[in-house]
Each structure stands twice: as structure tokens, then as C-alpha cells.
């Protein structure tokens, strides 16, 4: 492995700054092994172990969701990759470049869209893009400032001061800045927080177009339906520990419970005695929702019990588990 990394590093050194990083050997865009971070005690604050030996691998070419409650360790993980936080122990690599051995190459292989709207209000979007490109050593002839701004719907605001932009426009400018050096890996930390539905759709259309061109996308989000709709692989961190990391379809099968919705011919006002001891509730429309485990109770047995109790059933439907169910089961104690 050391030999292949050395060869890749040489080819990276010889490339023109601003070009995409070459594909280092390996199947993963990001790989962390036993990654640990302990924040020292400060004043009245005790020491905190933010990451407890995380093992995590992000496949190349994936749209990968990194989920977890507030304070779970997601931002610490991202900040270690971005070079903003120093890890306590363990290892991490980006596009085959170890963040300790090849820090410059590792950072050039990643673009991070932060959660905070940290934009200089006295720069225009075009100026902010040019400055960012300069920091990454992208030659002027290779810069794609207007191309990226147009893709983000900001070309008509290229020369307006950033302080005049709306929150959604500033969020899109952060995405644009992260793409100036054409990184093979893009990390989006809560990118659609505070963005209206239309802007969120525009943002994800662009993200999907980047993914179609081969960019690996890592997403943190509080919108679980967003992760379920967009991502193919999902990892969940809770209290500094990795509690799940699987393809989305496999993760959704972790929930054994299903929900049966029964609509009586006459809307129900109270739960029938036949459902005593079951996880059931009466809905506002008079239907009854029953949570059950197919391995223990069949839907037919529930319906038979209701029929035996004298209920006339007009309609039934089932609801499959979604990502929110999995998330709550894995992170609640």
C-alpha cells in the first residue's frame, strides 16, 4: 500500500494545480480506522470523547449519508478530514492520501460545504470564488468561476456584495466555493438547512449532476426523507460510536416491526378490547394503527381478532418502515 501511495503522490505533484486528484488505488473515497478524538477538560467542562474509535469507509462514486443526533460526533469527523481538528489517535485517508502522511494532497481531494454561513460580506461571489481558487493554486486559465456560479443559479449575482444575498443564495455560494478546485470528494454538512423547498430542489439537482460526473458525495442532514431519497449508503453515529453503516435497502430491513392501518366501517373512538396488550392507537380520522412484529403476530391474526370482537372492517393498508424508524431505534436508549 505504501508503494502505491508513493506512486500516486508523485503523479499528483506533477499535475497542473486545479486538476482533479488522480485516482489512488483502493475502493474508498474516505477511509477511517480506529479514529478517536478526545477534547481536553477546560474550566468547568470535563474531558469529552467525541469519537470512540470510528471505523468507516465511504465507497467511491456513492452518495453517502452520515447521520446522527446533535453532538453525536459528525462535525468532529468532518473537521478532522478538513484539517480543522487534530485527531487523538487512529488514521484517516481521503482518495487514498493519508491525512498525516500527505496532508496537502488529502485536503486538495476534498471540498467541504460547512454548516455555518461563513462568507465575507464585502466580497462579491465572483471575488470569493477567485480568492478560493487562488488558495488552492488553481491557475487563472483553469478557473471556472462563472461556470460554477451559473450552475448554482448565482451568475446574475456574481458582482453583488455577499451581504445582499439571501440565506439560500449564500448556502449555494458555499457549495460553489467548495467546488473551485474540482475535488473528487464533496462533503455537505447540513447544506439545505434554512433553505426553502425550491432552492433545496435546485441544490440537489446540481449535487446529482456532480455525482453523475463521478464526484463522491458525503451528506449530513437532519432531513431523514432527504437522505432516504438521495443516498445509496447510510452511516449512523451516536455518542461518538458508529451504530450502523450499510446500503440503504439493507438498513431499512433492520426494523422488524410493521404498521397495519385498519379503517372500520364506523370510525373508532376507542381501542377495541381485542387489541389489549398491542401497540395500537386510534387516529384522528377514526382508523386504527397497529404496530406489530410479523415474526410474532401475523396481520391476519390481528384482523381475525377484530372481526371476532364484532368490528366491521371497511379497508386495510400496511406501512413499511422508513429511515426515521431505523434512526430512532438505533439512537434512542
pLDDT confidence of residue 321: 63
Q: Could you give the 3-state DSSP secondary structure of residue 60? A: coil
266 and 245 in a common domain: no
The rounded percent of the chain whose pLDDT value lies above 70 is 89
111 and 235 in a common domain: yes
pTM over 0.85: no
66 and 214 in a common domain: yes
Where do runs of H (alpha helix) occur along the chain? 2-14, 74-81, 103-108, 125-135, 145-151, 167-178, 197-212, 224-230, 248-252, 299-308, 323-331
For residue 305, give the CATH number of its domain: 3.30.70.100
Reply yes or no on whether the pLDDT at 125 is more than 90.
yes
The rounded percent of the chain whose pLDDT value lies above 90 is 43
303 and 228 in a common domain: no
Where do runs of H (alpha helix) occur along 213-317? 224-230, 248-252, 299-308
What is the per-residue pLDDT across 143-153, written as a single tens digit (0 to 9) for each? 999 999 998 88
163 and 304 in a common domain: no
Final residue before a domain boundary, out of 225, 252, 279: 252
264 and 239 in a common domain: no
pLDDT confidence of residue 153: 85
140 and 33 in a common domain: yes
Final residue before a domain boundary, out of 252, 274, 301: 252
Task: Count up the domains in the chain and report the number.
Answer: 2
Structural domain boundaries enclosing 204: 2-252
Final residue before a domain boundary, out of 234, 252, 270: 252
Reply yes or no on whether the pLDDT at 16 is more than 60.
no
What is the per-residue pLDDT across 40-79, written as a single tens digit (0 to 9) for each? 988 888 899 999 999 999 999 999 999 988 888 999 999 9
Which backbone phi and psi does 76 adopt, to 5 degrees? -60, -45
pLDDT band at 7 (very low <50, low <70, confident <90, very high): very low
For 202-223, give one letter per residue: b (16+ CB within 10 A) or e. bbbebbeebbeeebbbbbbbee
What is the per-residue pLDDT across 240-271, written as a single tens digit (0 to 9) for each? 999 889 898 888 776 666 788 999 999 988 88
**Residue 70: exposure state from Cβ atoms within 10 A (0-12, 13-18, ≥19):** exposed
Amino acid at each position: 500500500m505504501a508503494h502505491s501511495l508513493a506512486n500516486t503522490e508523485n503523479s499528483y505533484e506533477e499535475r497542473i494545480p486545479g486538476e482533479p486528484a488522480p485516482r489512488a488505488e483502493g475502493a474508498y473515497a474516505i477511509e477511517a480506522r480506529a479514529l478517536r478524538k478526545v477534547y481536553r477538560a477546560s474550566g468547568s467542562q470535563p474531558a469529552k470523547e467525541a469519537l470512540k474509535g470510528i471505523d468507516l469507509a465511504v465507497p467511491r462514486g456513492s452518495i453517502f449519508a452520515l447521520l446522527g443526533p446533535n453532538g453525536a460526533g459528525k462535525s468532529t469527523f468532518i473537521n478532522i478530514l478538513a484539517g480543522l481538528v487534530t485527531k487523538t489517535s487512529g488514521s484517516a485517508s481521503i482518495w487514498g492520501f493519508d491525512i498525516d502522511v500527505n496532508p496537502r494532497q488529502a485536503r486538495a481531494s476534498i471540498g467541504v460545504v460547512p454548516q455555518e454561513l461563513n462568507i465575507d460580506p464585502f466580497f462579491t461571489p465572483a471575488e470569493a470564488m477567485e480568492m478560493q481558487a487562488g488558495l488552492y493554486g488553481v491557475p487563472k486559465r483553469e478557473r471556472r468561476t462563472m461556470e460554477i456560479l451559473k450552475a448554482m443559479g448565482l451568475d446574475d449575482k456574481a458582482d453583488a456584495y455577499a451581504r445582499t444575498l439571501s440565506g439560500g443564495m449564500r448556502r449555494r455560494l458555499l457549495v460553489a466555493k467548495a467546488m473551485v478546485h474540482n475535488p473528487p470528494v464533496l462533503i455537505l454538512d447540513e447544506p439545505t438547512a434554512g433553505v426553502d423547498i425550491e432552492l433545496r430542489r435546485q441544490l440537489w439537482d446540481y449535487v446529482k449532476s456532480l455525482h453523475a460526473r463521478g464526484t463522491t458525495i458525503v451528506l449530513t442532514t437532519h432531513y431523514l426523507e432527504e437522505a432516504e431519497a438521495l443516498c445509496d449508503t447510510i452511516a449512523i453515529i451516536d455518542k461518538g460510536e458508529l451504530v450502523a453503516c450499510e446500503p440503504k435497502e439493507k438498513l431499512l430491513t433492520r426494523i422488524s416491526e410493521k404498521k397495519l392501518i385498519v379503517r372500520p366501517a364506523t370510525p373508532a373512538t376507542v381501542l377495541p378490547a381485542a387489541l389489549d396488550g398491542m401497540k395500537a392507537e386510534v387516529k384522528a380520522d377514526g382508523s386504527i394503527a397497529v404496530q406489530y412484529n410479523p415474526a410474532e403476530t401475523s396481520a391476519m391474526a390481528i384482523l381475525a381478532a377484530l372481526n371476532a370482537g364484532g368490528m366491521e372492517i371497511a379497508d386495510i393498508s400496511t406501512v413499511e418502515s422508513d429511515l426515521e424508524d431505523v434512526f430512532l431505534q438505533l439512537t434512542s436508549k
